[in-house]
Structure 1
């Protein structure tokens, strides 16, 4: 590329990073300043837009607002800050031996490029190269937040930096998603595609035309890492790599170690536990393979971390009668999600949508309960049950069978929620065909009145038909009265009376969600004796005052 083409990218601005070995290297000095833990937390935290007045919007609009949680909700944990610190070290270490200001770098660059042109990099991986680059693996179950956190942290770094003094385009990091059942050749192609998107180049077309040998593809990847000063390569979903198609475990590991030892690019592998099993034996023996070590990305524990997460999440309810978060609800959320953030957020969103769409005209019916969470989980997230059951019982063998399980998409689940919508269904005219003209007009008037009251057309029509057929002489008022009486008693209808009935049948572990002066809630929340709890609520008759007065 010529200089005019490069000038469209951000030009390097060199800062003092605080260490002499960093400050004297343009590739490091052009990176953002090293962050403190507090600054990392501020970068990671994401909260959706939420306005209290939005709870008064129509239900079908609020369902769209709920979806903000899936895009803009993130609560930083200690593990996330640790990961940022590791990324910060990995990127900078990879540039320590690649300082474009030094003649040594140019000699080393020519030496490595001669090796690359031989298309046999793997024979050099155990040579004594003075590489500062390193590697690490991030291992955890699906939905735990590995990829989400990684994306946020990487986007803190520039995608491209142009150094006019060295006519160099620096790519601090690049992220590659492993193609499912992919081979090493497909991995290289994914690398070219990712770099083309970053730099608007055509490397994929240039290097993959004519089905080149794998040795040449590997050499081309290494060459581009040098040309564009790539600091960190992140390989996501590494468990998808097919080692058999790649020429075996050893060949894949040699390729990765070559990038670290010869080309001096730091490498991060992200995947489920299956990813480590793919190459565990060779990876332990490879030079520098241990690198920064493995980061085990576990689910949230049921402790203060879970309290912080759920209390922050609970603030974002677009419901008209939100219930306070109590210990019973925290426990139910953990029991269903097993501490996996992705699952609990989706469960929380879909449950809100279901509560809104099934509430009917009574705003008091819009609230979350443990029973509603269980229903939503069984209907919308049942595909993850085997994995969660394995986590609950700590069955490693069963969990391995669920290793590649994908958590359902929130958008489809929210769309499916509309299938449960009855009272708020679309209003439309229906051909009742009740008989003579008088009956038909009367039935249509009753139909229009019922639908205007919020009764679903597919419920109103059979109710009117039944009333007219049983009493052909019924007046309009009688038809509406009998139809609404039937509707209020129909199964599946939500009302304040039904809510009271549900409260009566509520399980003991859900008593904490009952109204404040319900005796069961008082019993559930008490810290001392029941008498003290009742007295504190003002439910004990002041007998002493009565006796003294008499």
Structure 2
């Protein structure tokens, strides 16, 4: 039992779950009521905020609005409802033998804790064959929506429930990422951190300090699952187990089997098809049952599911010219994305940003097959091998590519500007004073002063006023008079831009006109490089005057 120091967590509200074995168990009846497929579809669906008035916003603001799609767009489909139903059963079944209302609960809790702390957790344990907890695997290619769907389903359940009567903090589910090296000790550490954050308790310091053995860490994980009534452990990115040191993956499988068979915690493994194919058979054999089976998460087929997805996505355009969805656009989107939802949404967003930023007039802001192709080639080259494999239908090629790191866009900004085709900026208008010499000197002086951080609309009248008083002034005299007048202007403060530090190793990536880049790439002396670039100041003309 827990003895929580505070009760800031929501207190349990016990509901009729429709079955006596559920409603009579406080750990189950405190969960949300079981949802119907229609209720699941409504609960999982997400749509971004959209207002037609936003089409009047400046283009750079609209590109931020477009990015809502990457955060707040989700279309419920059959696979998602299936996942929710399986996960709903996994959580509830794990509590069937853990009923705090039963007299056997405390005895069972103590006996299991004693077994966990004394048993060798690196061997299979089959003597708890009556465990109602189960297991499941979810396999699919990157970007298909495995983790997103699982997260949405998990978030329909409370994160923590406080039971005052039993002085217990119940954690219905906990999601842990598999360590990148497949290490069991790192997995235990990740578990301590995830559970500690959930409960605001520093379990990492309590259980992972002092270099404990792997056996002790595993026992502590199992113990915490019992103490906090953890119903489901979800392990994402399970393909990392293929990188485990010799025998490491066997220890991980054995430990997960212990959680299911002995501690009675259900387990879900999420990963790529190739990795889970290697582990799922051993996991099933260890469980002596298929558990709840596995869900193979594929891309969207080009059928009514694809049409429904685009039908929901298409209205969310922040463009002045919204084209109707057509067969060429449908085909091009599918050809480029191969039905991978993550790629479809991001391509749709980036194409809109590109259309907005490149349009000379509002009527040119429109999607087209050509624009989609260009954006895909610029932005998604890293996933081209995976998509080519999907097009080929070759299973081996697909499995060879499914560990590919998937490109992620920043959650707050679509970084489309850096990859845009160069578009000339509008040049500042020059002044014309009549006399060619005066005009040339005046515009040179304006450029010089604006480069010092003075706004052009301030610099221009200062220069023209100085030349109006004495047309024979030299360049250096004009600049001196203008800056003197500037400093004498009451209430006018020139705000100097805050310098930005750039590390020396980054100099070669600076713009071609930056002297630091010139210095980093010079082959001779700096003076020779400056002369070669034609950026040395014509001091001879100044001295001659």
8 A contact 1:338–1:391 mirrored in 2: yes
- The secondary structure found in structure 2 opposite 1:222 is helix
Deviations 1:267-289 (A, max 9, x none): 00000113214424522421245
Cα deviation for residue 203 of structure 1 reads: 1.3
Cα deviation for residue 53 of structure 1 reads: 1.3
- 1:506-521 paired onto structure 2 within 5 Å: none
Give the Cα–Cα distance (whole angstroms) in 1 for the partners of residues 12 and 415 of structure 2. Answer: 46
Whether 1:402 aligns to 2:401 is: yes
Whether 1:323 aligns to 2:323 is: yes
Cα deviation for residue 121 of structure 1 reads: 3.1
Gaps of 5+ in 1: 446-550
- The secondary structure found in structure 1 opposite 2:137 is strand
Whether 1:353 aligns to 2:353 is: yes
Give the Cα–Cα distance (whole angstroms) in 2 for the partners of residues 313 and 326 of structure 1. Answer: 14
Gaps of 5+ in 2: 447-545
Partner in structure 2 of residue 28 of structure 1: 28
Cα deviation for residue 416 of structure 1 reads: 3.7
Partner in structure 1 of residue 525 of structure 2: none
8 A contact 1:181–1:240 mirrored in 2: yes
Partner in structure 1 of residue 437 of structure 2: 436
Partner in structure 1 of residue 13 of structure 2: 13
Q: What RMSD over aligned residues (CA atoms) do the two structures have, in Å?
A: 2.5
Structure 1 residues 352 and 267: alpha-carbon distance in aligned structure 2, compared to 1, 3 A threshold:
same
Give the Cα–Cα distance (whole angstroms) in 1 for the partners of residues 340 and 124 of structure 2. Answer: 42
- 1:364-383 paired onto structure 2 within 5 Å: 364-383=363-382
8 A contact 1:119–1:216 mirrored in 2: no
- The secondary structure found in structure 1 opposite 2:287 is coil
Partner in structure 2 of residue 544 of structure 1: none
Relative to the length of structure 1, the TM-score reads 0.76
Give the Cα–Cα distance (whole angstroms) in 1 for the partners of residues 363 and 445 of structure 2. Answer: 31
Give the Cα–Cα distance (whole angstroms) in 2 for the partners of residues 190 and 3 of structure 1. Answer: 23
Structure 1 residues 419 and 394: alpha-carbon distance in aligned structure 2, compared to 1, 3 A threshold:
closer
Partner in structure 2 of residue 287 of structure 1: 287
Give the Cα–Cα distance (whole angstroms) in 1 for the partners of residues 251 and 180 of structure 2. Answer: 19
- 1:117-516 paired onto structure 2 within 5 Å: 117-123=117-123, 125-242=125-242, 244-245=244-245, 247-288=247-288, 290-360=290-360, 362-411=361-410, 414-420=414-420, 425=425, 436-439=437-440
8 A contact 1:257–1:289 mirrored in 2: no
Structure 1 residues 206 and 427: alpha-carbon distance in aligned structure 2, compared to 1, 3 A threshold:
farther
- The secondary structure found in structure 2 opposite 1:137 is strand
Give the Cα–Cα distance (whole angstroms) in 1 for the partners of residues 13 and 162 of structure 2. Answer: 9
Give the Cα–Cα distance (whole angstroms) in 1 for the partners of residues 14 and 130 of structure 2. Answer: 26
Structure 1 residues 20 and 428: alpha-carbon distance in aligned structure 2, compared to 1, 3 A threshold:
farther
Give the Cα–Cα distance (whole angstroms) in 2 for the partners of residues 395 and 99 of structure 1. Answer: 49
Deviations 1:98-139 (A, max 9, x none): 001112121111111111221513446111442100000000
Cα deviation for residue 426 of structure 1 reads: 7.8
- The secondary structure found in structure 2 opposite 1:296 is strand
- The secondary structure found in structure 2 opposite 1:143 is coil
Give the Cα–Cα distance (whole angstroms) in 2 for the partners of residues 120 and 243 of structure 1. Answer: 24
Structure 1 residues 156 and 425: alpha-carbon distance in aligned structure 2, compared to 1, 3 A threshold:
farther
Deviations 1:123-174 (A, max 9, x none): 4611144210000000000000111111111011001101111111100000
Cα deviation for residue 178 of structure 1 reads: 1.4
Give the Cα–Cα distance (whole angstroms) in 2 for the partners of residues 14 and 74 of structure 1. Answer: 31
Cα deviation for residue 223 of structure 1 reads: 0.3
- The secondary structure found in structure 2 opposite 1:100 is coil
Partner in structure 2 of residue 52 of structure 1: 52
- The secondary structure found in structure 1 opposite 2:8 is coil
**164-173 vs 122-131, which moves further:** 122-131
Deviations 1:341-391 (A, max 9, x none): 00010000000000000001x111100000000000000111110000000
Cα deviation for residue 6 of structure 1 reads: 3.6
8 A contact 2:116–2:219 mirrored in 1: yes
Structure 1 residues 97 and 57: alpha-carbon distance in aligned structure 2, compared to 1, 3 A threshold:
same
Deviations 1:63-110 (A, max 9, x none): 000000000000100110011000100000000010011121211111
The number of residues matched between the two structures is 444
